[in-house]
């Protein structure tokens, strides 16, 4: 039996044909890695809130916004993966996870830029 199916690797696949769960798994991994790295950083207390001194020094609201985006990305990706192909709620949570991770990366980039210029 011969098949007309041609095997392609992940890198040969066009972006539009990449499975949705691959992006969500990447978001899940990035958010877990970010939280693990944040736990290892030295902190300072600002108004009884721990703020990492490496990137977010003196910027507690920026750190809280970054943390909130990471948490939303984690929970959105988790919900979308566990409810894969189960309707519009899974699709909405997947998009919500992507937007939250993009926002977290934008906040992190802004914080790094501000810390480098000071």
**Domain boundary assignment for the chain:** 18-117
Please state the pTM of the whole predicted model: 0.77
- pLDDT digit string (tens) for the chain, length 118 residues: 555 656 556 555 565 555 556 788 899 999 999 999 998 989 998 888 888 988 888 889 999 999 999 999 999 999 988 886 677 888 888 899 999 999 999 999 999 998 888 7
Distance CA 118, CA 104 (A): 21
Asked if residue 63 lies in contact with residue 50, where contact means CB atoms within 8 angstroms, the answer is no
């Amino acid at each position: 039996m011969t098949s007309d199916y041609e095997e392609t690797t992940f890198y040969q696949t066009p972006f539009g044909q990449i499975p949705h769960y691959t992006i969500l798994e990447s978001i899940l991994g990035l958010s877990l890695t970010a939280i693990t790295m944040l736990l290892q950083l030295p902190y300072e207390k600002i108004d009884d809130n721990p703020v990492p001194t490496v990137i977010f020094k003196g910027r507690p609201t920026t750190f809280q916004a970054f943390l909130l985006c990471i948490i939303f990305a984690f929970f959105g990706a988790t919900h979308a993966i566990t409810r894969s192909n189960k309707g519009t709620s899974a699709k909405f949570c997947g998009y919500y996870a992507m937007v939250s991770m993009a926002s977290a990366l934008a906040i992190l980039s802004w914080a790094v830029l501000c810390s480098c210029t000071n």
